[in-house]
Structure 1
Amino acid sequence: MKMKKIVVFCASSSGHGNTYIQETQKVGQVFAQQGIQLIYGGGRVGLMGVVADTVMEHGGTVIGIIPRFLNSKEIGHTEITELIEVETMHERKAMMNLLSDGVIALPGGFGTLEELFEMITWAQLGLHKKPIGILNVDGFYNHLIALIQHMVDAGLLKKENQDMVLIAESIESLLEKMEQYEAPAVPKWLNMSKS
């Protein structure tokens, strides 16, 4: 399925060095070139601001969704296509899910991981069938990928659920994987044997 609207979760900081900024800019360029609408957290700082600015600079469309308490601190990006204000962090994620065809996580901190894993959990429970991708910039997510494998090896995560997380080192490759993705047919809790 061709991705038309993709949520990007990423840091409200820029990180050390230029690698994260450069790769985030590339994401923005590719989105604009391919006509993919960016759905994101609405901030103007850090990698969030970089991806939004880059999409806008290349003639693309950017929809930001930000909780009122963050927007009131002047963190909201006012130079994007549309900035939607919501009441809570949960409402923000619910709206992102509603508006999007897929999800990509760029490098980030606790907030990025929380958003990513909530979307993965919803997919695992069959609440949506959207592709979820991790852009593993410069090996940023290597330890997380190893942890997910450890969960499988320990018998705490099913291999088919691990396979729901698509991983690539370039945005072009990740988008290709996302377009070819087919969600598992049976939600997690429906295929458990009765005790």
Structure 2
Amino acid sequence: METKVHWVDVLTPLPTGPVRVAVTERGVIGATFGPGDMLHETRGEVVGAPAPAGDERAARVAARLGEYFAGRRRAFELPLDWRWTDGVQRQVLQTLERTVGWGETVTYGQLAARSGAFEAEVEQHLAARAVGQIMGSNPLFLLVPCHRVVAADGLGGFGGGEAGMSVKRWLLTLEGHLPPTLDWDGPA
């Protein structure tokens, strides 16, 4: 059965510009930087057309993301469609979404342990690296807050190279985890 997926572009103050969010009848299924095509590689599903005018789900998503970027919303409270995740990836991402709130961070290793997704005999650094890869494959960027997962000795990485790291810093500054710099352009 084919999943009907529509997208909405949400203007943001992020260094990368707008965020594209994909929605289904179940909820948000994907989010990415900018207006590029969304392709879920393991299932070959491509996000089709923009959400039709008047689509309440898309309007709710856009409004809640706008409130978040304005500093007026700390939780999105939107239904998520987890179909583009599975197995250990889903377990780790659901643990992150459930247990790490606004302004909090967790290390890759702490999230690995908290999720219970890895065998006890798996070395801690290997589990932490696996969590890093899962964060890089997170189809629900922002809504499942991979920006809140950091290295034990610093910020760690973020998808999209240096532009992605700018987004991670911006989001952690918005949420009060990092102090604003003189050139920060977020809400007062």
TM-score, normalising length from structure 2? 0.31
Whose helix proportion is higher, 1 or 2?
A: 1
